[in-house]
Structure 1
């Protein structure tokens, strides 16, 4: 039986502290002006603006002239200047850096994770960051940087290795008054259990506070792991101001959701995805991940707050304002994996300051960003029970009543491939080894009792870390999403190697007939959602997909879509989406290859925002590996994409009109 979430039932699932309401009203008088964002043709934040809209009101490139777009300049992620500093450097294929554009300069991490400033019209280097004494040239690139300004003081904040750096935006020199000579260390907050600190993200700046997440292992050796601590630093001084532990300790709210004192040793729950913030409310929004051992939780019974939750904190103090848990006792690796989107909605004639959280599993959670209360009812629906010894699943999971899911949820035999009777028969035969069921079907033990060796997990794609694009004038959200069934299984732990009773399986892609997917298309889509009404406006396939596959020869098929992390940016006139390169897909089949790889077309497409029709497309030298952005410089609008592959060196490519 389905029951709407009431105020009483929300006490456990959704905590809205009285302190949150007092804080919100108390901050109103001290609210800082919101960022001008992209209104002046700049791109000052990774998501365009502080609201994470990935939107610009620019109109120079439009439906009438988009066909004239051409490459204006290209810039290698590993430039000649960088190569000269240390011969033998090699750039990784999965280069995910997106530039900012502020004050007539582009800022981005290069292939070694050092920040470069370069000319928006030519891509030529303006400066490269000063390295801290002893820092190597070699390093790993991140996804972005942050910009902060107070009067004449302009800074770029960036994370490289185990440190947060502050760099003078005018010169590239380290700001020596920040932290220890220009940097603040990030490792010590995790204690001795964490061998190192790493994160590909960028600091979120709210009220002169820089807030930092962390990446952590998905394959822990034991049940004892460090928690994914979030840290906050003073932008001016580099002093650590507060930390937030997503696993509440003794006496803290939420601690009771960890049975048998499992909070003492369980780790992860980290914020590896982008954060967002509302400086006027003084709140930062944290999308947290799953706890230790993604697919088995017998050692951490309970709902496991604050994992898999959207958590709102006071950005100046770290005080808890509210939270909403999207997945109770996660057994599916359903981290909240993208930046929360802030939207000022008009719902039933009422203005609502909302926060929108997309997910890997196709649900869109729309909450009041001041209080955390759902904008539309969220119901707790019964879900399947685990058969794994020692496991106790949550009896229900929260399901939004609006908007509809943008990705298929669960799988039955009706969802299996059926292009031809032969493919259908082969697909049915292959699926006999798997459990087919609704969303939130838990893993089975490989080699355990029964003939089923894995659960066919659908969805195991959904929205990616880059999120979506929101047109703030219409409140239409454009979501790239994809279907990629994975095999969900757990393996008995080897007592000689781990104290986990079960460990997660290899998370392989489910093989389909003749290298085709095991399920029906679409395999990737663009979905437009009206957030004012909570309704889907249109859905289109994101690419032609494998319709030229030899097994489909002679069939007249529409575009089938591709299971790729396609990345969007919207303007006043168009929606641009660039297809990701296969290197950015994490999954592989059991034998290590990717059968669909020949059908990735590496195209940049412009869509009609009203209908989803493709207005224009252009094949790029490689697929995208990072979020695109757009800006205006000296009267010309540019569209910038980041591309790369195993065979194409990563680079920035800027397009413009002649």
Structure 2
């Protein structure tokens, strides 16, 4: 529906891209109008009390003591060491001069925001790896007598006193709420429900997304709101609709009982004046095969507008129908006010993995520019029913490359490597963004870990300028029938079965991998040790995704097998999850993520691998695009325009005309928001994954970075470059103009 007309209910092959519910709209506040909207947004965004700086998640600061004229004078004001070797990508909160960070084996720590001095520590289980590790939530009562921090640990929502760090026992049951409950599945069958992002506080409600696993047994991605005082569930929005709900017809009957995903892991934006929360969703599961979920699959890969008080649907738009590419909407929606066709319009913009920025009227969901449904190739995999068309926005232009052929290979490839990859690509299926994964090689670009990822966008809400960090990382997908897990026999035998079902599709049945893109796991126990392997499996590392879904028992068995594989010889072929001639939809096909890296450990596509793109949402045009960061080994040889490799960094834009961000090369930078040129940079103790926080204490502006990730490009063995085993010297590093106290 290019004209943005609200759709009708599903009938046959008609697909509603959006639906406006007048009853829900009647509950929200009236729209802002005229140029006064600019003035109102300019006066806000002066604190950093919420993830991303504010409820709208704009990653914008109206503070402007630090600007283009003096940013080069920034110096370290204070440093706080994380106190362990763990990786952190945490966005601090700052309230009343107190900063809340994650450190010391995943504990919540309160610091003096002006000096970095420790105030208190709230300890969690030192062995835990499952915590809301990108940010937490702050709430206070109207009289400020009750002030709380809210976060999740191991699927349990918790509340602590923001002034003391003490647990609040009256929250939930003995201070805990099990977020696995109420999803229509046996709670203990759901290994991962909590999101690594913190959600949004609206009044006395905490609105949460989730981080379901990547497999066929994933839980549903319901959006839920909890009362911040009692912990009781207030409302639920089913992203896999139940009978009688909008979108139920876009799935097989009773899919909500078995299919998972369609979750919000990327963050959400809240329009507090309207009472609308904007929620981007991910793909349904399994990521690369949908034979068990025929249909368009609402509300997977959607931007959903919900009434924040009730959870009722206001409108939605689906960016990918029946996703079989893992093309999640991977960033927080951006709220701004723009001039469109001579009128001031409040908009919400969404960037994702595909490389598009979608821009909608915030109240109606109508796209600002036409959207075209274009025909796409069919799948040849048994049981798969691809959707016949996919939507393409006509404006703005994409921020990422969306095609990849042998002509686009990196100039840094070795000759024999180039020849090998060229032959593979020429034999692969390669028909653009929506080429269905098949039983042979299929090229995917920008890739399922490409485009924009969590926190990768920021917006200046006063002028409609939006900034997107993205990476170009092509993938080569190939489906094969999955194998079943057996829990019979010794731990090593069980571990071999777990390895076959979860790891062999990438690392091979012989564990030899395909170095350097996929490292060998032969003798990995002696090389890395059990603790390091467990951390990588739980958290992911470099291109490897996290496998947090594995139970403790399964992980123990997997580690036993990797340590002593000879105790579990492969005496028979792995059992397939379903026979090849099974009924359509009952077979489980799987694919590795297929990231295409060269022997050097760098992407096989020509650089730049990371870019920062500036948009003018008033006109739907690109203002500028620049490579972001460097690869130190290449920069030393004079190649400085490559962008960094495999970034997970988040920009923050300021009223001082600056963009602050950091990269894996251990550099933090300030760029001119009007040109993208670097005006200041500094080296920090470790690499960055995450978002800086900008705040003010005593009239002084600070910029704090969480520098606590692996800095080296080489996260596994590469010819001539051993994998880094150095501990991560993590720290929170605050910068300010001269005159700020240091420690």
Name the TM tier (shorter chain). Answer: 0.7 to 0.9
- In 2, distance between residues paired with 1:511 and 1:108? 34
- Structure 2 residue 192 is the aligned partner of structure 1 residue 187: no
1:57-96 equivalent positions in 2, closer than 5 A: 57-78=62-83, 91-93=85-87, 95-96=88-89
Q: CA deviation at 1:293?
A: 0.7
Segments of 5+ residues of structure 1 without an aligned counterpart are 29-33, 79-89, 447-452, 582-600
- In 1, distance between residues paired with 2:689 and 2:447? 22
Q: Which residue of the partner structure matches residue 198 of structure 2?
A: 202
Does the 8 A contact of 2:685 with 2:730 survive in 1?
A: no
| Partner SS for 2:454 | coil
Aligned length: 604
Q: Which residue of the partner structure matches residue 736 of structure 2?
A: 656
Cα deviations by residue, 1:387-440 (Å, 9 ceiling, x for unpaired): 212211111111111111111112234433357995865653453353333111
Q: Which residue of the partner structure matches residue 493 of structure 1?
A: 482
Q: CA deviation at 1:137?
A: 4.3
Q: Which residue of the partner structure matches residue 436 of structure 1?
A: 430
Cα deviations by residue, 1:61-98 (Å, 9 ceiling, x for unpaired): 222322222222211223xxxxxxxxxxx5422x1211
Does the 8 A contact of 1:77 with 1:111 survive in 2?
A: yes
- Structure 2 residue 105 is the aligned partner of structure 1 residue 101: no
- In 1, distance between residues paired with 2:151 and 2:17? 35
Mark the CA change 1:179 to 1:520 in structure 2 (over 3 Å): closer, same or farther: same
- Structure 2 residue 558 is the aligned partner of structure 1 residue 472: no
| Partner SS for 2:168 | coil
| Partner SS for 2:182 | helix
- In 1, distance between residues paired with 2:640 and 2:92? 36
Q: Output the TM-score relative to the length of structure 1.
A: 0.85
Q: CA deviation at 1:477?
A: 0.7
Match for 2:622 among 517, 529, 536? 536
Q: Which residue of the partner structure matches residue 293 of structure 1?
A: 286
Q: Which residue of the partner structure matches residue 619 of structure 1?
A: 683
Cα deviations by residue, 1:296-332 (Å, 9 ceiling, x for unpaired): 0011110001111111222222112211111100011
Q: Which residue of the partner structure matches residue 371 of structure 1?
A: 364
Q: CA deviation at 1:11?
A: 6.0
Q: Which residue of the partner structure matches residue 163 of structure 1?
A: 156
Cα deviations by residue, 1:615-643 (Å, 9 ceiling, x for unpaired): 12222222102211111112321111111
1:450-465 equivalent positions in 2, closer than 5 A: 453-460=441-448, 461-465=450-454
- Structure 2 residue 140 is the aligned partner of structure 1 residue 151: no
Q: Which residue of the partner structure matches residue 270 of structure 1?
A: 263
Does the 8 A contact of 1:433 with 1:454 survive in 2?
A: no
Cα deviations by residue, 1:4-59 (Å, 9 ceiling, x for unpaired): 6655588622222232333336999xxxxx99999474211111111111111222
Q: Which residue of the partner structure matches residue 635 of structure 1?
A: 699
Does the 8 A contact of 1:492 with 1:503 survive in 2?
A: yes
Segments of 5+ residues of structure 2 without an aligned counterpart are 9-13, 33-38, 485-574, 579-585, 711-725, 739-743
- Structure 2 residue 658 is the aligned partner of structure 1 residue 575: yes
Match for 2:607 among 521, 524, 540? 521
- In 1, distance between residues paired with 2:85 and 2:603? 32
- In 2, distance between residues paired with 1:185 and 1:420? 50
Q: CA deviation at 1:443?
A: 0.8
Mark the CA change 1:257 to 1:573 in structure 2 (over 3 Å): closer, same or farther: same
Cα deviations by residue, 1:360-379 (Å, 9 ceiling, x for unpaired): 11111111222222122111
Q: CA deviation at 1:455?
A: 2.4
Q: Which residue of the partner structure matches residue 136 of structure 1?
A: 125
Match for 2:396 among 403, 414, 426? 403
| Partner SS for 2:651 | strand
Q: CA deviation at 1:114?
A: 3.0
- In 1, distance between residues paired with 2:619 and 2:632? 35
Please say which of residues 228-237 and 357-366 is displaced more in the overlay. 228-237
| Partner SS for 2:349 | strand
- In 1, distance between residues paired with 2:2 and 2:698? 57
| RMSD (Å), alpha carbons | 2.9
Does the 8 A contact of 2:81 with 2:729 survive in 1?
A: yes
Q: Output the TM-score relative to the length of structure 2.
A: 0.76
- Structure 2 residue 649 is the aligned partner of structure 1 residue 566: yes
- Structure 2 residue 487 is the aligned partner of structure 1 residue 482: no
| Partner SS for 2:422 | helix
Mark the CA change 1:570 to 1:38 in structure 2 (over 3 Å): closer, same or farther: farther
Mark the CA change 1:612 to 1:167 in structure 2 (over 3 Å): closer, same or farther: same
- In 1, distance between residues paired with 2:734 and 2:220? 40
Does the 8 A contact of 2:425 with 2:443 survive in 1?
A: no
Please say which of residues 325-334 and 103-112 is displaced more in the overlay. 103-112
Please say which of residues 526-535 and 36-45 is displaced more in the overlay. 36-45
Mark the CA change 1:645 to 1:52 in structure 2 (over 3 Å): closer, same or farther: closer
Q: Which residue of the partner structure matches residue 215 of structure 2?
A: 219
Does the 8 A contact of 1:410 with 1:458 survive in 2?
A: yes
- In 2, distance between residues paired with 1:544 and 1:486? 22
- In 2, distance between residues paired with 1:157 and 1:27? 31
Q: Which residue of the partner structure matches residue 240 of structure 2?
A: 247
- In 1, distance between residues paired with 2:41 and 2:179? 30
